Chains A and B, each alone.
Chain A
Amino acid sequence: MNAIEIKNLTKNFGEKQALSGLNMTVPEGSIYGFIGENGSGKSTTEKIICGLIHPSGGEVKLYGRPHTDGDVRAKIGVLIESPGCFPGCSVWNNLLIQAANLGIKNPQEEVRKVLKTVRMEGAASNKYKNCSLGMKQRIGIAMALLGNPTLLVLDEPINGLDADGMRIMREVLIDLAQNHGCTIVVSSHLLGELEKIATHYGIVRGGKMIREMTAEELEASCPTFVALQAKDMPLTKRVLAEKYARVEEDESGYLRVYEAKNVQEVVTYLYGKGIIVSEIKRAKIGLEEYYIDLMKGKGDR
C-alpha cells in the first residue's frame, strides 16, 4: 500500500498557482526525498498533506483514505517550518503537552522514549528557547515521533545543522524507517545528505512532479565516468574526442570521459598519443548533479 497518493493536486494563492496538477506516490516504509527549487511547491504540498492548507483541487490519500480522515491524521508526525514549541517551556514539558494532545496513555514514558530516539535525554530540562538549532530540530523530530506515527513529514529537518547534527539526524531517520517501519517524506536542499538516506525521490518543479524514481533508478540514471587532468587540457580533450563520443569539461576543471571502461584504458590511450595524465580517477554522477542537469533540461544522461 502507498502511504501517500496524490493525484492532480492544485493550489492557487490568489492569482498565483503554486501547484498545477501535482502527482505523487510515496510507498509505505520508504524515505522519500522531496526535492525542488525554492517556490517549486514542496512546502505547499507538505502543508496540504498535513491538512494545514486546503487544496484548490485534486485528491490526497493517506493509506488509501482521504487525508482529512481524523484517524489517519493521528498517525502522522510533522515537522514543518518549526517544531511548534513554547519557548518558555522546558523540552520535557513541550513534549508532554503534545503527548497529552495526542491522548497518549503513558505520556512520561513515551516522552522519555522519543527523547532517547533523538538522543536528547540529557537536555529534557532545558528551556526550549535555550536550545541550539540542531537541538531544536531534533526536538521537532521527537515531537513528530510522539504517538508512534507511521508517516513522518519533515520539511528541511537538516537545514542549519552542523556536520555532527546532520549525522545524528541521518542516523535517526534511517533507524526510524528501518527499525520502526516509518514512512518518511523529507524535503531538503542538501541533496548530498538526502542521497545518503532516501530510498525514493520526487523532483518537483513549477508546482508539478517532473520525476519520481527509486534510489536504484537514480543509480542507474547516473553514469560513471573517468575524470582526469593533464597539462594541455584542450589538446587532451581533442584527442579523447577522437576515441570517445562524450568528453566534457566540468566546473572543477576535470575532463570527463563517459564511455571509458576503466582508468587504465584512458591512461594507456593518452600515453600512446604522447599525453601525460597528471591526475585521474573514476567517479559517478550524484543526485545533486542529476538534479541540476534535470533542472537545466538535460534530462537523463
Chain B
Amino acid sequence: MQTTFEKNGFKKRLTSMLKVDFRRMFTTPLYYIMVGISLVIPVLILVMTSMMDGMVSVDPQTGAETVMEGFDNVWQIFGSLSSASAGGASMAGGMSLTAMCNINMLYFGVAVFVCLFVADDFRSGYAKNLFAVRAKKTEYILSKTVVGFVGAASMLIAFFVGAMIGGGVAGLPFAMEGFTVGNFVACLLSKILLSSIFVALPLLAAVIAKQKGWLSILLSLGFGMMFFAVIPMVTPLDATALHVVLCLVGGAGLCVGIGAISTLVLKKTSLV
C-alpha cells in the first residue's frame, strides 16, 4: 500500500502553533506572575517614594545630608519629556531614583519572561517533539515572537494600570504638563511596539542557550543593555505619531533581523 501524505501549509502550521503557544502562555503561572509583578511594581514605587519624599538621610561618616525626592507626578513613572531628555537635565535625571524606577525597567522583566518561556520548551522536550514532527524553525521563532510580544504588551498595560492605582493611593497629581493625552497614548504605544525588540533579543538568547534558562537571561540582559539607552529617547512622554512609526518600523525591522539570526541558530545547532 502506497503511503500518502497530506500537505501542511505555512498558514495551517503557524495557526496551530500560535494556538498552542497562546494557550500555554495563558495557562502558565509564569505569565500571571510577571503580569502581577508589573501591576504591583508601580504601586509600590509610587507609594513608597511618596512616603519617603522629603526625608533627610545623614551620612554618619561625612555628615552630608541627602534629601529623598519622590515623584512629582504620576506620569513621571512612564518617562520624561523629550525636551528634558535633549538637555543636560537628562543626565542628572538618569542618576535619580525617579528616572531609574520607571516603566523602562520592565523590558528586563519581558526578557526574563521570554527566556523562561522558551527555556521551558527545550527543558521539557516539547521543542524536540515539535521539530521532530512538524514545525519549521521560522514558524517557531515567529510564533514565539508574537506570543512574547503579546506577553510584553500585557505587562506594559498592567504597569499602566498599576501606575494609575499607585498614583491614586499615593495622592500624586495626574495633571499633564507639557504633553497631552494623545502624546501619552503615543508614548505607551511606542513602548509597546518597542518591546518587540526586547522579545526578539531574549528569544535569540534563548535559542542559543536552549534549556539553560539562566544563561539565556544573562545573555539577553547583555544584549538588552545595548538597546536600553535608546528607550527614553524614542518613547518620551510627549511622543508623537512619528515616534510610534519609528518604533513600529524600527521594532519590526530589528525583530525580523534578529528573528532571522535566531532561525539560523536553530537550523545550525542541535535541538537536543
Contact = CB atoms under 8 A, between A and B. Distances in A.
Interface string A184-214: 0000000000000000000000000000000
A100 B23 contact: yes
Given A74-B8, A97-B24, A103-B13, A52 B130 contact: no
Contacts of B125: 81-85
A31 interface: no
A159 to B, nearest CB: 16
B126 A70 contact: no
A150 B3 contact: yes
A1 B1 CA distance: 9
17 contacts: A47-B272, A50-B131, A50-B132, A52-B131, A70-B8, A70-B134, A71-B8, A72-B5, A73-B132, A74-B5, A80-B132, A86-B126, A88-B29, A97-B20, A102-B134, A143-B129, A147-B133
A1 B3 contact: yes
Interface in A70-98: 70-78, 80-89, 93, 97-98
A54 interface: yes
Interface of B: 1-3, 5-8, 12-13, 15-17, 19-20, 23-24, 27, 29, 120, 124-136, 268, 270-272
A249 interface: no
A101 B131 CA distance: 10
A28 interface: yes
Interface residues of A, number: 41
Contact of B3 (A75, A80, A84): A75
Contacts of A70: 8, 13, 134, 136
Contacts of A100: 16, 19-20, 23
Nearest to B2: A1
B2 A73 contact: no
Contacts of B27: 89, 93
Nearest to B17: A101
- By secondary structure, the B interface counts as helix
Contacts of A53: 270-272
Nearest to B124: A86
A3 B124 CA distance: 29
B3 A51 contact: no
Contacts of B135: 101
Contacts of A93: 27
Given A52-B132, A84-B125, 18 more contacts: A3-B3, A51-B131, A52-B272, A54-B268, A71-B7, A73-B134, A76-B132, A76-B133, A77-B133, A80-B128, A83-B125, A83-B129, A84-B129, A85-B124, A85-B125, A86-B120, A89-B27, A103-B15
A82 B16 CA distance: 23
A89 B134 CA distance: 22
A146 to B, nearest CB: 9
B5 A52 contact: no
B118 to A, nearest CB: 13
Interface string A263-296: 0000000000000000000000000000000000
A127 to B, nearest CB: 13
A87 B135 CA distance: 22
A150 B19 CA distance: 25
Contact of B6 (A71, A88, A101): A71
A66 interface: no
B129 A78 contact: yes
A97 B17 CA distance: 9
Contact of A81 (B24, B128, B130): B128
A176 B24 CA distance: 30
A63 interface: yes
B136 to A, nearest CB: 7
Contacts of A27: none
Nearest to A72: B5
Contacts of A101: 16-17, 20, 129-130, 133-135
A80 B23 CA distance: 25
Contacts of B120: 86
Contacts of A74: 5-6, 8, 133-134
A149 B132 CA distance: 12
Interface string A126-138: 0000000000000
A83 B132 CA distance: 12
6 cross-chain pairs, A with B, having the tightest CB-CB distances, nearest first: A84-B125, A84-B129, A50-B132, A103-B16, A78-B132, A71-B5
A52 B271 CA distance: 5
Interface string A6-29: 000000000000000000000010
Contacts of A77: 133
A181 interface: yes
A287 B120 CA distance: 40
A150 B120 CA distance: 29
Nearest to A150: B3
A84 B133 CA distance: 12
A196 B271 CA distance: 33
A73 B135 CA distance: 9
Contacts of B272: 47, 52-53, 80-81
